[in-house]
A = this chain, B = another copy of it.
């Protein structure tokens, strides 16, 4: 058994059964070991940002890490943006990064770089194995680190000779440090706040799913407390049968206004709200004056159980406030397509248990609530703010949940960063429908240019628009083996969307808005 073989078996022992890969020469023994071991599925991405974004989407839906296989410092570099997003989403990921053989590292060959330094800005845990016999134990520790609550990025750097030299055996799974129990004091403080005044819960992580969300719903029903989530929560269970959780507005002034009147802001799995960006003269902190933030559960703590304990303490044992199924009305005629119409058509026709990867940004944001009473779905968002997350995330989610429909709501500007993910969708025949909001601009930046008060001339505008030439998304998708259509009316969108939902394999809709 060589080091690479000990690695692959150790990953499998630790419950890692998918490897999103973009390998190079220094990873060839790992590729060989993947080949030999039927317990590991390997999924090729044609760019590393696809690989890391897919690992993020997989982790959000599977609740456990995939491995990535990346080539040296620059290959990791290409994957950093989506690892940043995964880090902010608290998605567990195990990165396996090849490096030059230890004996080769002093020679400054063309691809020599400081791989540890590349890994550090996005990793909670970084280690470089120095010996093939250490690889299995190091990999077991990497898995343990990735699974530590609430989910971490673990980067294991493996020089090529640690792959090809002899190792002894694989390592078993190490114990996982699950979420910490919330102390009695925090629960008592929350109970007191609920009895004393107007409370808003700000929820994230497990508090937005399953029993955590149900407990929050019971508390809301019993006390009238508001349920709110971060503007870009990593994953939310939405739709019929779930409590409606309001979304914090994106911009500072509306966000502060939105929270005004709250006396206590109870934080579950998140931090007190802050602005996405700073603006001249506007505050960074969004907690309004007179409102006290109170931490019920930190991100590494068991927010779901804490909410259940609070619900029990206040006697909130009755039914939760839950949405009834009421699909939005949708325009279906030969009328011009709008961002609102797209979301209405989505709500009208999407099946139950759809997984929605939303990177529609300015296009979809104002119409988010149209899905409040749609069929139950999982909603995944760009939690780290680095665009180019959506298509890979949809890809990884579809690998994690092969029996569910995935829907990728995607701005055209952000789609271009990791457009190569469409090819992986085609190769793996994933049931992903991608809707490109083709507004042919970095629309959010136009708003930003105005809101920072910067000059708005022709040259500045040309840096923010995707025209001259316009992108042709049907050709781009077809070029990667994905069926696609272009629509510019509501009737066309509705027909295309229904066709996409029925299709086997990926489908892309270029929606001209």
Interface of A toward B, CB cutoff 8 Å? 21, 23-26, 28-29, 31-36, 42, 44, 46-47, 49, 72-75, 77-78, 80-81, 84-85, 88, 100-101, 103-104, 107-111, 113-114, 117-118, 120-122, 160-161, 164, 232, 271, 274-278, 280, 284-285, 383-386, 388, 413, 416-417, 419-420, 423, 426-427, 444-445, 448-449, 452-460, 462-464, 466, 468-476, 478-481
Q: Which of B78, B118, B463 contacts A49 (CB 8 A)?
A: B78
Q: State the number of copies, please.
A: 2
A459: chain B residues at CB < 8 Å are 34-35, 42
Question: Taking CB as reference atom, which chain B residue is nearest A29?
Answer: B454
List the 4 closest pairs (A to B, CB-CB), nearest first. Answer: A469-B481, A32-B454, A77-B80, A475-B479
Whether the pair A77, B84 counts as a contact (CB closer than 8 A) is yes
Check B28–A454 contact: CB distance below 8 A. Answer: yes
Whole-angstrom CA separation of A25 from B122 in the bound complex? 21
Chain B min CB distance to A41 (Å): 9
Who on chain B is nearest to A414 by CB?
A: B46
Given A75-B386, A117-B120, verify A472-B479 contact (CB < 8 Å): yes
CA distance A122 to B78 in the complex (A): 13
A25-B448, A34-B459, A427-B468 in contact; A81/B74 too (CB < 8 A)? yes
Contact yes or no, A452 B164, CB < 8 A: yes
Known: A384-B111, A476-B479. Is A73-B121 also a contact (CB below 8 A)?
yes
Q: How far is the CB of A138 from chain B (nearest CB, A)?
A: 20
Instruction: Given A104-B278, A479-B475, verify A21-B463 contact (CB < 8 Å).
Output: yes
Closest Cβ of chain B to A39, distance in Å, is 12
Contact residues in B for A34 (Cβ distance below 8 Å): 459-460, 463
| Residues of B with C-beta under 8 A to A466 | 46
The listed residue (B232, B285, B481) touching A110 by CB distance below 8 A is B232
Are B101 and A423 closer than 8 Å at their CB atoms? no
